[in-house]
Structure 1
Amino acid sequence: MAVTLTENAAQHVRRSLDKRGHGAGLRLGVRTSGCSGMAYVLEYADQVAPEDSVFESHGVKVLVDPKSLVYLDGTVLDYTREGLNEGFRFQNPNQKETCGCGESFSV
């Protein structure tokens, strides 16, 4: 099981953690939401919970809780800029459908 960051995503997270001045890594999870059923949840984590799975990519830790890992296994997280838009992009092999706005997915 693994969740990885591209080099661009790792650089963005590292810069953000440096700007915050603290943090253990990036917490990635899922929650029930949206028209397709599930939505990604991203936040900076200040500590690792005992039940977290910890993956490291390009020197940055990604923390995933056990319930979310089932839906996120194999996911690659990228950070892209396209014109005025920038943000994280998820390449999730478990994802079967997304809603029209791209905010939620189903497995």
Structure 2
Amino acid sequence: MKKQMNGDSLLKVLDALSNPYRLKIIAVLHKDRQYVSQMARELGISRPLLYLHLKKLEEAGLIQGEHEISNDGKAMKYFELLPFSVPLDAGIIAEASESISDKKKE
């Protein structure tokens, strides 16, 4: 996410980062990629709730998931953190606000 974000993508990233569990997920993935069951145990939340948070982060382009098959044949979903930077100041917000779609202006 090195390029300048438009208004809609900035809103999506800020929304994704506005939850304490999602910040904790980023902290876990900052160390190393993880599979869902391990993350759920580490964070002390259910896998269905974790998947909801992972989906939000993935839609914002902050993480990426992929399926792998373990040695014993189990399908495992791993997630990793994608490189991103969210510079933010009044000028960036003003510029990004010009590209917010009409459905977001309400």
TM-score (norm 2): 0.26
TM-score (norm 1): 0.26
Higher strand residue share: 1
Report the structure number with the largest CA radius of gyration. Answer: 2
